[in-house]
């Protein structure tokens, strides 16, 4: 079963935030460490957002909130053209009532 996750990323170089919706086939994603959850997002970014550009992630801090099923992280996206600091939150997409 796949899960739909939402990643909200605030960049230090922009005046807005971006929202990315992606899916993972890992049904036990919330049993993983924060870095493994971030890795699922990083794979999506590498394949779908910047497919023609080398991108890597450097994570300086991360934690997972078990109760709300979310991960928060701070770090940098690393490109050949430079580094962009960010704050990232990943959570499950809420199903409308």
- Average the pLDDT over 52-70 and give the result: 93
Distance CA 68, CA 16 (A): 24
Is the predicted pLDDT of residue 95 greater than 70, yes or no? Answer: no
Per-residue pLDDT band at 16 (split at 50, 70, 90):
confident
Instruction: Name the token pair of 27.
Output: 């049904």
Cα 4 to Cα 42: distance, rounded to the nearest angstrom: 15
Strands 55-65 and 70-79: antiparallel
pTM: 0.87
Q: According to the model, what pLDDT value does residue 11 have? A: 84
- Report, as an integer, the average pLDDT of 27-53: 92
Q: Please state the rounded mean pLDDT for residues 47-61.
A: 92
Is the pLDDT confidence value at 12 over 80?
Answer: no
């Amino acid at each position: 079963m796949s899960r739909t996750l939402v990643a909200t990323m605030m960049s230090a170089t922009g005046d807005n935030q971006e929202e990315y919706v992606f899916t993972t086939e890992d049904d036990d994603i919330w049993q993983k460490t924060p870095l493994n959850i971030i890795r699922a997002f990083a794979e999506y970014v590498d394949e779908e957002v910047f497919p023609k550009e080398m991108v890597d992630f450097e994570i300086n801090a991360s934690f997972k909130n078990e109760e709300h099923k979310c991960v928060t992280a701070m770090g940098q996206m690393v490109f050949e053209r430079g580094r962009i600091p960010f704050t990232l939150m990943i959570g499950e997409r809420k199903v409308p009532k």
